[in-house]
Amino acid sequence: MLKPDYEELARRLRDAYTGETLPPLREWLEPTDAAGAYAVQAINTSFWESQGRGIVGRKAGLTAEAVQKQLGVDQPDFGVLFDDMQIADGGNLDPARCIQAKAEAEIAFVLGADLPSADTTAEQVAAAVASVHAAIEIVDSRIADWKITFADTVADNGSSAFFVLSDQGLPLAGLDLEGAAMTMTLNGNVASSGIGSAALGNPLNAAAWLARTLAAGGDPLKAGDILLAGALGPMVVLNAGDEVRTDVAGIGTCSFSFNGA
């Protein structure tokens, strides 16, 4: 294995956004090298901020135990959400902005208070939540053919691309997050289904993990941040022209069109 040059790896990943995917990063990063992968992610986060992109929140990934086992890890991961990644509910995403896009349905939170503690609990997250939304995350990979390890996806900003939140958020009180049934349709046909408990047993658990991890790293979550709490069901491949809609029972719906119009 070559000695990793994190700056060079970060540059290669940035360059891959033009559509020229990279082979897996195993020549430089061990598949479970969290420290190295997050170092690469942080370099690109700083670079993009210097280019004027604003951070609006974070996404939690690998929140399903089965996916963790598949990648040989025992923890979720996270990526950064930038302002230019949000697609309006009912809006349009040009496929030309993606490489090998997939969609997954999630529950999202918008925070009304800071979460500064590295010991943040799910109950403390719940107290800080201003609104709960149905969400669609459009994931993408700069790694060829999605042949990713944990280190690949972390270095690649959690394989993130775009996201949609339902226009109407709800207060958390009284919502059944664990039992919320999710249905995602492509062109009117059911393509994925799941339940809120798929995200670490409860999306609040995923949000608490995210809060603890970021606070421990000195970059805590703040009021106004958007949190995508992890997939509720299998991701689906997107093709140009697809109409995508997600319904999370008791929480809301959101949609977008995957076309160049």
Instruction: Give residues with Cβ within 8 angstroms of 119, minimum separation 6.
Output: 212
Model pTM? 0.95
Domain-embedded: residue 158: yes
Both tokens of 49, joined, read 């901020």
Q: Does 1 map to a domain?
A: no
CA dist 18 and 11 (Å) reads 12
The residue segments making up the domain with residue 106 are: 6-258
Look at residue 3 in the predicted model and tell me its pLDDT: 62
Tokens 């059944």 -> residue: 176
Question: Quick one: pLDDT at residue 62?
Answer: 87
Tell whether 78 is covered by a domain: yes
Tell me the residue type at 182: M
DSSP for 152-186, please give it. Answer: HHHHTGGG--EEEE-SS-B-STT--TTT-EEEEEE
Does the residue 124 lie in any domain? yes
Mean pLDDT for back-to-back runs of 10 residues, the chain (261 residues): 80 94 92 94 98 98 78 86 98 97 97 98 98 98 94 96 97 97 98 95 97 96 98 94 98 96 63
Q: How many domains does the chain have?
A: 1
CATH at residue 40: 3.90.850.10
Q: Pull the structure tokens for residue 216.
A: 């421990």
Give the chain's end-to-end CA distance (angstroms, integer): 45
Give 256's strand partners: 91, 244
| pLDDT at residue 162, rounded to an integer | 98
